[in-house]
């Protein structure tokens, strides 16, 4: 049939697997509950550690000790701060919508834990006599579940700002919501390249497809975009624009205290672990050992509980990256941040997805599924385009700098362009030209009846 779609050609682009998700056939319900409790405890303990870790690392970067009093090396400082926060007075503003005011931190805190359910922490392990994946659950669209849960978590932010009954939290909630929604678009587009290479949106299958090559190499642009968007998603420096000491104080959670504030605080750090775990799963091979170590003794270090070790190492590399950014970079301006997302990240990622689709099709059709060769070709072409773009950019920048280096006139006319222009440093204003006064117009003669003399002369 003329014009009919060749389904075999389309299906050839997407690798098929016998099992589209992880195998949970030997996992009873009570074992799933134990794994859920295991995940919850790991996230809570890691949150306590990362807060201490952040304060210690930034203290070292700023040449100060950081917490070092409570417990050995100050390890119990976070626990002491949590107990103190829980014992503080819980205040509710008079004009607040009390139901939404209580519901907002619950949404923000709980949604952060849900996303971690589809992250594979390791391969199949033996637990209580059963062989089960070190993962709570998996679906054919597991990555989309993370994006959907992140979208629901935005409701906690906007409800917190609106229900407080105050101006600054409302503005902070609107800022944070616009920021998260804007950067979720770029994040979702960045993940499409991984879906094309893996042929699946299941996290377990994406990890399995990286046994030969981690996707950080062929999908390097997606990785860069994802790293930027994950910082924007979590409202971390330099993108913590929902709060500001000089303009919005605490942002959307300004009016919160005690355990309600602790829920927002906990949700922020758990979200950091979630986006870092997703980056590890999609780009760094997940729980698999690095290539050199994975080849030792026929993959001995990729079996059993070893995967949990490699996963945590990669996860904490991203957490150190978060801390390093906070201690190094200042907060960006809000309009610059939004312009960067809408005018660069989203269009650039759209072009990248189209390029990856063509490259993947050509790779499977002509290169015999040779990912390395296709990657080298892609990097070469993109490098040539980047060099050409940088050459053009440098030319324009040199022209702009040359124009900026031109000596300014010592005297300017402030009204030359039709609008008043203040002088630059070192300039003086030109005296306006004096206009001579226009000659006075003769006064108009009022109309009147002719005089008697004139009328007599006229008659005579």
Mean pLDDT by 10 residues, the chain (460 residues): 37 48 81 90 90 91 87 88 86 85 88 87 84 86 86 85 85 83 88 88 88 85 91 83 67 83 87 91 88 74 84 92 89 85 88 83 62 66 76 78 67 69 72 59 57 48
- The tally of domains found in the chain comes to 1
pLDDT, residue 53, reads: 92
Flag whether 403 is in a domain. no
2 falls within a domain: no
- Asked if residue 430 is part of any domain, the answer here is no
The length of the chain is 460
Mapped onto helix, strand or coil, the DSSP state of residue 417 is: coil
Report whether 194 contacts 215 (CB < 8 A): yes
pLDDT of residue 2: 34
pTM over 0.85: no
Residue 7 lies in a domain: no
Q: Which pLDDT does position 367 carry in this prediction? A: 53
Residue-level pLDDT at 418: 66
Give the pLDDT score at 320: 93
pLDDT reported for residue 13: 41
pLDDT for 334: 82
Its domain, for residue 285, covers 21-364
- DSSP state letter for 125: E
Q: At CA 333, angle to CA 327 and CA 334, rounded to 5? A: 115
Whose tokens are 């060099």? That residue is 387
- Say if 218 falls within a structural domain: yes
Residue 247 structure tokens: 């303009």
Beta strands, E only, 119-186: 124-127, 130-133
Yes or no: say if 325 and 236 are a contact pair by the CB < 8 Å rule: yes
Specify if 369 maps to a domain.
no
Q: What is the pLDDT of residue 127?
A: 84
60-119: per-residue pLDDT in tens? 888 888 888 888 888 888 889 888 888 888 888 888 888 888 898 888 888 888 888 889
Domain presence at residue 303: yes
237 falls within a domain: yes
Q: Residue 296 is encoded by which pair of tokens?
A: 């030792």
């Amino acid at each position: 049939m003329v014009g009919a779609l060749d389904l075999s050609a389309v299906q050839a682009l997407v690798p098929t697997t016998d099992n589209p998700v992880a195998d949970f056939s030997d996992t009873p319900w009570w074992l799933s509950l134990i794994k859920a409790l295991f995940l919850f405890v790991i996230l809570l303990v890691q949150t306590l550690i990362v807060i201490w870790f952040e304060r210690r690392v930034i203290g070292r970067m700023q040449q100060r000790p950081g917490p070092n009093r409570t417990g050995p090396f100050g390890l119990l400082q976070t626990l002491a701060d949590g107990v103190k926060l829980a014992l503080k007075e819980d205040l509710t503003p008079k004009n607040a919508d009390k139901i939404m005011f209580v519901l907002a931190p619950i949404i923000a805190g709980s949604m952060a834990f849900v996303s971690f359910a589809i992250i594979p922490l390791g391969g199949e392990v033996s637990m209580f006599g059963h062989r089960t994946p070190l993962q709570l659950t998996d679906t054919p669209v597991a990555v989309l579940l993370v994006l959907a849960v992140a979208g629901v978590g935005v409701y906690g932010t906007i409800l917190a700002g609106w229900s407080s009954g105050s101006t600054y939290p409302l503005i902070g909630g609107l800022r944070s919501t616009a920021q998260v929604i804007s950067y979720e678009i770029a994040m979702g587009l960045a993940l499409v390249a991984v879906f094309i290479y893996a042929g699946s949106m299941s996290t377990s299958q994406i990890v399995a497809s990286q046994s030969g090559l981690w996707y950080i190499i062929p999908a390097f642009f997606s990785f860069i975009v994802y790293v930027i968007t994950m910082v924007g998603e979590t409202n971390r420096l330099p993108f913590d624009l929902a709060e500001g000491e000089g303009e919005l104080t605490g942002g959307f959670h300004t009016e919160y205290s005690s355990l309600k504030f602790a829920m927002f605080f906990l949700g922020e750090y758990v979200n950091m672990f979630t986006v870092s775990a997703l980056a590890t799963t999609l780009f760094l091979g997940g729980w698999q050992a690095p290539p050199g170590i994975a080849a030792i003794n026929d993959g001995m270090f990729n079996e059993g509980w070893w995967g949990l070790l490699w996963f945590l190492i990669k996860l904490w590399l991203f957490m150190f990256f978060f801390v390093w950014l906070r201690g190094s970079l200042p907060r960006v301006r809000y309009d610059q941040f939004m312009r960067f997302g809408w005018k660069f990240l989203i269009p650039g990622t759209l072009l990248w997805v189209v390029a990856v689709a063509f490259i993947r099709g050509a790779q499977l059709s002509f290169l015999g599924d040779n990912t390395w060769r296709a990657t080298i070709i892609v990097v070469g072409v993109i490098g040539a385009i980047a060099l050409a773009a940088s050459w053009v950019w440098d030319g324009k920048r040199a022209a702009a700098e040359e124009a900026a280096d031109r000596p300014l006139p010592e005297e300017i006319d402030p009204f030359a362009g039709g609008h008043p222009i203040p002088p630059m440093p070192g300039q003086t204003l030109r005296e306006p030209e004096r206009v001579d006064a226009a000659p006075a117009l003769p006064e108009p003669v009022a109309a009147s009846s002719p005089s008697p003399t004139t009328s007599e002369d006229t008659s005579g």
